C-alpha cells in the first residue's frame, strides 16, 4: 500500500485471499490488501501460548509493564499519520477524525501505563483482635476481546491497555471490516517490546467461530466485547457456561434534549459533534432529538443550516467531514429508517439527495413523533430526527423509554433543572451542555441493555483484576 510511509506497520499482510481476507475501502470499493486468517488450531495454540506468557508478564513489576506500555504509546503517536491514513482507507472516516482516533486510542495506552502502578489493595479493620485483614488485586489471567469496525484502534487500546497494565495477556479479534489498523497498532506494541504471545490479534474463518472459541476456552477468564446488544447477549450466554467475567459495551439510543432555557447556538454545535462524528456511526451518537416547542423552530433551522455545510466524500479528500457508511446493508438500513419515518409523517428539513456508493447525505427530520420506529432503533447513520416536547415530566418519560442506557445529552442553563434532569436520566453517561463526552480519564459504559462494566478511568483496570482477600490469623 503506497500511501503508508512506515511499511513495517504492514508486515503482517499476506499476499492473497488464499491465506487471508480481503479488506476493501468503503469509499471506493477497491481491495486494499489481505489480512491474515488463522485456522482454529492456530487460535487454540495461540491461547495456550498466551496463558504461558501471562505468568511471566504478571510477574514483571508493574512499573516495568507500564514502561513498555509508555513506549507503545509513544510509537503510536509517532505513527499517527500512517495509522490515521490506514484507518481512513479501511474504515472511511475523514483523515482528521482518523488521526483524532489514533490520539484518542493512544490515550488509553498512556493512561493505563500510569495506572499499572496504582492497583492498590486495602487493609480492613478486623472484627477481632487476633486477626489482620487485607486485600490484594491480581490479574484475571488470559483476557480476550472482540472489537468493532467503527473505532478500529481505540476500541482495542481501551481494552488492551488495562488488560496488559493489570498483568493479563490479551487476545483480540478485530472486526473483519477493519483488521489492518488492528494488526498495525499491534505491530507497534511488538516494536515497543511487548511480547507477541502477550498481545495477539487473530482473525478466524468467521466471527462466530472465534466468538465460540473465546467463550468456551477454559484458559480464557475474561471477555470484553464492544458491539450490538444482540451479539453481546449471545456472548454472555456462552460465557456463562464456565462463569467467565465479561464486560459489555453495547448499543445505545442517546436522547439529545434542548430545553427552552438552553443556549441554542451551543446546542447546535453540540448536536453536530454528537450526531455526525464518524458519519453517525458511534454507540454514543445522539440518536433522537427532543427540543422544547418554544425553541423548536429556531433549533431546527440553525441545526439544518449547519448540516447543509457538511461535505460528504472520500475521507482522504481535503474538507470532507462525512465519509461513507461501512457497508451496503448499513446504508439500506439507514435509508429504510428515513423512508419509514417519512411515511409516518416526518419531513426532511432540506432535500436528502440519494448518493452513489456507500455515501449517505446527512439529513434533519422534523415533525417526528416519539412513537415512530426511527426513535426506538439505533440509526447508526447521519440522520437526526427532531421531536417537540412541552413539559419536563413528559420529556423524561420519553427519554428513558428505551431498552438502552448508554449516553444522553441535554442543554439547559437552569442549574436546578440541570441536577434534576441529570439524576433522572437512566443512562451511564450524561453530557450536560456538551456533545463530546469520551475521554480516557472518565468511566465509559452503560446501564440497562447497553452493557456491563466501565472502560477507561480508574475503574477500567478493575475489569481485568480479581480482588483477593487475605485473612491473617493468630496475631
Binding site for ligand SIN (CB under 6 A): 150-151, 154, 226, 249, 282-284, 438
Distance of CA 348 to the CA centre of its chain: 29
Residue showing the smallest CB distance to ligand SIN in the complex: 438
Q: Which three cell numbers stand for residue 196?
A: 507477541
Please state whether beta strands 245-249 and 429-432 pair in parallel, antiparallel, or not at all (unpaired): unpaired
Distance of alpha carbon 164 from alpha carbon 102, whole angstroms: 19
Distance of alpha carbon 313 from alpha carbon 227, whole angstroms: 26
**In angstroms, what is the C-alpha Rg of the chain?**
23
Distance of alpha carbon 178 from alpha carbon 41, whole angstroms: 23
Q: In the bound complex, what is the minimum distance in angstroms from residue 321's beta carbon to ligand SIN?
A: 17
Q: Is 249 a catalytic residue?
A: yes
Q: In the bound complex, what is the minimum distance in angstroms from residue 57's beta carbon to ligand SIN?
A: 26
Q: Return the number of the residue (154 or 198) whose C-beta is nearest ligand SIN.
A: 154
Q: In the bound complex, what is the minimum distance in angstroms from residue 248's beta carbon to ligand SIN?
A: 11
CA of 276: how far to CAs of 40, 68, 280, 301, 391, in Å?
39, 36, 5, 17, 27
Residue 77 CB neighbour total at 10 angstroms: 16
Distance of alpha carbon 296 from alpha carbon 424, whole angstroms: 23
Task: List the one residue out of 392, 448, 387 whose CA is nearest residue 420.
Answer: 392
Which residue in the list 249, 378, 440, 455 is annotated as catalytic?
249
Q: In the bound complex, what is the minimum distance in angstroms from residue 283's beta carbon to ligand SIN?
A: 4
Q: Which three cell numbers stand for residue 287?
A: 440518536
Q: Return the number of the residue (50 or 449) whose C-beta is nearest ligand SIN.
A: 449
Q: Return the number of the residue (13 or 236) whose C-beta is nearest ligand SIN.
A: 236
Residue 173 β-bridge partners: 146
Q: Return the number of the residue (169 or 175) whose C-beta is nearest ligand SIN.
A: 175
Q: Return the number of the residue (88 or 438) whose C-beta is nearest ligand SIN.
A: 438
Q: Yes or no: say if 73 and 109 are a contact pair by the CB < 8 Å rule.
A: yes
Q: In the bound complex, what is the minimum distance in angstroms from residue 409's beta carbon to ligand SIN?
A: 13
State the catalytic residues.
Answer: 249
Amino acid at each position: 500500500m503506497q500511501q503508508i510511509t512506515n511499511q513495517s506497520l504492514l508486515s503482517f499482510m499476506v499476499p492473497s485471499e488464499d491465506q487471508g481476507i480481503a479488506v476493501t475501502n468503503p469509499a471506493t470499493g477497491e481491495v486494499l490488501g489481505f489480512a491474515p486468517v488463522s485456522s482454529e488450531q492456530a487460535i487454540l495454540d495461540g491461547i495456550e501460548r498466551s496463558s504461558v506468557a501471562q505468568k511471566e508478564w504478571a510477574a514483571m513489576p508493574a512499573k516495568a509493564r507500564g514502561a513498555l506500555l509508555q513506549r507503545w504509546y509513544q510509537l503510536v503517536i509517532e505513527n499517527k499519520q500512517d495509522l490515521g491514513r490506514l484507518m481512513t482507507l479501511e474504515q472511511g472516516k475523514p483523515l482528521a477524525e482518523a488521526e483524532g482516533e489514533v490520539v484518542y486510542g493512544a490515550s488509553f495506552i498512556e493512561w493505563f501505563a500510569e495506572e499499572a502502578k496504582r492497583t492498590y489493595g486495602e487493609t480492613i479493620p478486623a472484627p477481632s483482635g487476633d486477626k489482620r485483614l487485607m486485600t490484594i488485586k491480581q490479574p484475571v489471567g488470559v483476557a480476550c476481546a472482540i472489537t468493532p469496525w467503527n473505532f478500529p484502534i481505540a476500541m482495542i487500546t481501551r481494552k488492551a491497555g488495562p488488560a496488559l497494565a493489570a498483568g493479563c495477556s490479551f487476545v483480540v479479534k478485530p472486526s473483519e471490516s477493519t483488521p489492518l489498523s488492528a494488526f498495525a497498532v499491534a505491530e507497534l506494541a511488538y516494536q515497543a517490546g511487548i511480547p507477541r504471545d502477550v498481545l495477539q490479534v487473530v482473525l478466524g474463518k468467521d466471527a462466530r467461530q472465534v466468538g465460540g472459541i473465546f467463550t468456551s476456552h477454559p484458559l480464557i477468564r475474561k471477555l470484553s466485547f464492544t458491539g450490538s446488544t444482540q451479539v453481546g447477549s449471545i456472548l454472555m450466554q456462552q460465557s456463562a457456561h464456565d462463569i467467565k467475567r465479561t464486560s459489555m459495551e453495547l448499543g445505545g439510543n442517546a436522547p439529545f434534549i434542548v430545553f427552552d432555557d438552553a443556549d441554542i447556538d451551543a446546542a447546535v454545535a453540540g448536536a453536530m459533534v454528537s450526531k455526525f462524528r464518524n458519519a453517525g456511526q458511534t454507540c454514543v451518537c445522539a440518536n433522537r432529538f427532543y427540543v422544547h416547542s418554544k425553541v423548536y423552530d429556531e433549533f431546527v433551522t440553525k441545526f439544518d443550516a449547519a448540516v447543509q455545510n457538511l461535505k460528504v466524500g472520500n475521507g482522504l479528500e481535503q474538507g470532507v467531514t462525512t465519509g461513507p457508511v461501512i457497508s451496503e446493508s448499513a446504508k439500506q438500513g439507514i435509508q429504510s429508517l428515513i423512508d419509514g419515518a417519512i411515511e409516518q409523517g416526518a419531513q426532511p428539513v432540506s432535500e436528502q439527495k440519494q448518493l452513489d456508493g456507500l455515501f449517505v447525505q446527512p439529513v434533519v427530520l422534523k415533525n417526528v413523533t416519539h412513537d415512530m420506529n426511527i426513535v426506538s432503533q439505533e440509526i447508526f447513520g447521519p440522520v437526526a430526527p427532531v421531536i417537540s416536547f412541552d413539559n419536563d415530566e413528559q420529556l423524561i418519560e420519553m427519554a428513558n423509554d428505551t431498552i438502552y442506557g448508554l449516553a444522553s445529552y441535554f442543554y439547559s442553563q437552569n442549574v436546578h433543572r440541570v441536577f434534576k434532569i441529570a439524576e433522572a436520566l437512566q443512562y451511564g453517561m450524561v453530557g450536560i451542555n456538551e456533545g463530546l463526552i469520551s475521554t480516557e480519564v472518565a468511566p465509559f459504559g452503560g446501564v440497562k441493555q447497553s452493557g456491563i462494566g466501565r472502560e477507561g478511568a480508574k475503574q477500567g483496570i478493575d475489569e481485568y483484576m480479581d480482588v483477593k482477600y487475605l485473612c491473617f490469623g493468630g496475631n
